[in-house]
Amino acid sequence: MRVVARDVLRAVRERDAYANLVLPGLLRERKLSGRDAALATELTYGACRSQGLLDAVIADCAGRPVTEIDGALLDVLRLGVYQLLRTRIGAHAAVDTSVALVRSEFGGGKAGFVNAVLRRAAERTSEEWVDRLAPADPLGHLAFEYAHPTWIAQAFADALGARAGELRDVLAADDARPAVHLVARPGEISAEELALVTGGEEGRWSPYAVYLDGGDPAKLEPVREGMAAVQDEGSQLVALALTRAPLDGPDGGRWLDLCAGPGGKTALLGAIADIDGFHVDAVEPAEHRADLVRQATRSMPVTVHVADGRDTGLTPGYDRILVDAPCTGLGALRRRPEARWRRRPSDVRDLVTLQRELLTAAWDLLRPGGVVVYSTCSPHLPETVSVVADIARRTGATQLDTRDLLPGVPDTGDGPGAQLWPHRHGTDAMFLAALRKP
């Protein structure tokens, strides 16, 4: 279990791999299941999420910055300190198993160093380490306590606005293991049937959502047979908002997903379009991601185009267009455990430029009276309300009250855009806004 977790951390550090892509393959390859797989998953994702806090403790105990510690040792130290501070695993077991990992690969000298660092780390509780090492200012203290870079905590506080007092709840929700959400394919299976078959629970907001308590969804028969897929309920709500938005004039059934890869939202749109006799064009610039879209939309009325969304060459006149734009992903950090430590504030400027260009391209492809829904899996204001306000100002777009497109979903903000939150809705922190062309 710990060897698997160590190997994933190593892949993340050495190859910039994604933990949530590497781990499932290793679990299958090494035939781990049940409680062993659950522990390996908890250690892997927990150590990735908590990296900033763990590194501060390691540096204090080692008397040197983590940049001066051999990477292979650092992986084991992060696993060991995570077990000491954030699990119920006994200190003795956490230290001994970590030391054994190092001794088996590097011998006694380096094992002694790891032993010394972990024994110092074990001298304090997690709360005592936070009190000792966290910044004094309230926001910095919260960010450290819940293992977030300060700039991301600040971005969440800004997006919460007058309700910035909820910041602790947001950070805590972001730091917890998220539930698995399934989407029932319209026309194939209902959410009620999917919940019965899988032992899950019907979702609160999307009529197609089912919540699972755990396990490997890839092993479920409805998922294997293409009747259901893994998809956050917030992403389902984005696709549904596009289908619900009121048009001026009839819906001619020409829909476009301008940023389609890897295909989750496209597949939901395609299934709904199939029921109504409509058609979806899907644009994705990367061939390997376009393949994922094709696989997700097999037997649906979906045509995949490998093209840059800013210059597709498609004929204008679409009734509905989804722009689920590339973004910082700050709203989905709980599902991508290492992402919070990879993103930089400097990433935002180039992404905002791309987001504006994609939304402008969508606007040019939209028919008069048609609607474009813009969404990001980030609540960061420069990527959300600022992008939408800029386009609305330049084009004269009518901003629809997007909250009306999420019937029954409370607490989505002051409008006209809508913001979902993990601590309020149990979804990723998706932002969405709907613009109609005069």
Residues 183-233 pLDDT 10s: 999 999 999 999 999 999 999 999 999 999 877 788 899 999 999 999 999
Per the listing, tokens 């998922």 go with 223
pLDDT for the residue 19: 92
Beta-bridged to residue 229, according to DSSP, are: 183
Please report which residue ranges of 217-301 form alpha helices under DSSP H: 221-224, 233-244, 264-276, 287-296
Express each pLDDT in 167-196 by its tens digit. Answer: 999 999 998 888 899 999 999 999 999 999
> What is the dihedral angle through the alpha carbons of 247, 251, 257, 262, rounded to the nearest 10 degrees?
120
324 is in an annotated binding site: yes
Contacts of residue 295, Cβ cutoff 8 Å, sequence gap at least 6: 263
264 labelled binding-site residue: yes
DSSP bridge pairs for 202: 210
Per-residue pLDDT of 107-150, as tens digits, reads 888 999 999 999 999 999 999 999 999 999 999 999 999 999 99
- pLDDT of 392: 96
Angle at 81 between CA 75 and CA 83, to 5 degrees: 105
* 3-class secondary structure, 121: helix
Which helix (H) or strand (E) covers residue 212, if one does? Answer: strand 209-212
Average pLDDT in the 68-83 region? 97
State which H helix or E strand residue 97 sits in: helix 91-106
* Model confidence at 328: pLDDT above 80: yes
User: Is residue 222 marked as binding?
Assistant: no
Residue 22 backbone phi and psi in degrees, to 5: -75, -40
Catalytic residue among 48, 61, 327, 377: 377
| Bridge-based pairing state of the strands 366-376 and 431-436 | antiparallel
* CB of 362 closer than 8 Å to CB of 321: yes
Residue 31 in marked binding region: no
- Beta carbons of 384 and 419 less than 8 angstroms apart: yes
Burial class of residue 399 in the structure, from the number of CB atoms within 10 Å of its CB (0-12 exposed, 13-18 middle, 19+ buried): middle
- 48 has catalytic annotation: no
DSSP lists the bridge partners of residue 371 as 320, 436
CATH of domain 233-437: 3.40.50.150
Which residues, including other chains, have CB under 8 Å from residue 97's CB and lie 6 or more apart? 2, 80
CATH of the domain spanning 1-128:
1.10.940.10
To the question of whether residue 61 is assigned a binding role by annotation, the answer is no
**340: Cα separation from own chain's centroid:** 10
Q: What angle do CA 195, 196, 198 make, to 5 degrees?
A: 65
Q: What is the dihedral of CA 386, 387, 391, 396, to 10 degrees?
A: -40
pLDDT of residue 426: 96
pLDDT band, very low/low/confident/very high, at 249 (cuts 50, 70, 90): very high
**Residue 35: burial class (beta carbons within 10 Å; 0-12, 13-18, 19+):** exposed
Across the chain, mean pLDDT equals: 96
Q: Is 174 annotated to bind ligand? A: no
Contact of 283 with 257, CB cutoff 8 Å: yes
The answer to whether the annotation marks 392 as part of a ligand binding site is: no
Partners of residue 230 on adjacent β-strands: 182
Buried b (16+ CB within 10 A) or exposed e, 273-303: bbeeebbbbbbbbeeebbbbbbebbeebbbe
| Residue 283 DSSP SS3 | strand
- Can you tell me the distance from the alpha carbon of 28 to that of 47, in angstroms, rounded to the nearest whole number? 21
Average the pLDDT over 287-313 and give the result: 96
Q: What is the pTM of this model?
A: 0.93
What value does the mean pLDDT take over residues 20-45?
A: 91
The whole-number pLDDT of residue 216 equals: 79
**Which residue, 178, 292, 180, 216, is CA-closest to 28?**
216
Residue type, 110: K
Report the pLDDT value the prediction gives residue 337, as an integer from 0 to 100: 87
Distance of alpha carbon 249 from the chain centroid: 36
Q: Is 369 part of any known ligand binding site?
A: no
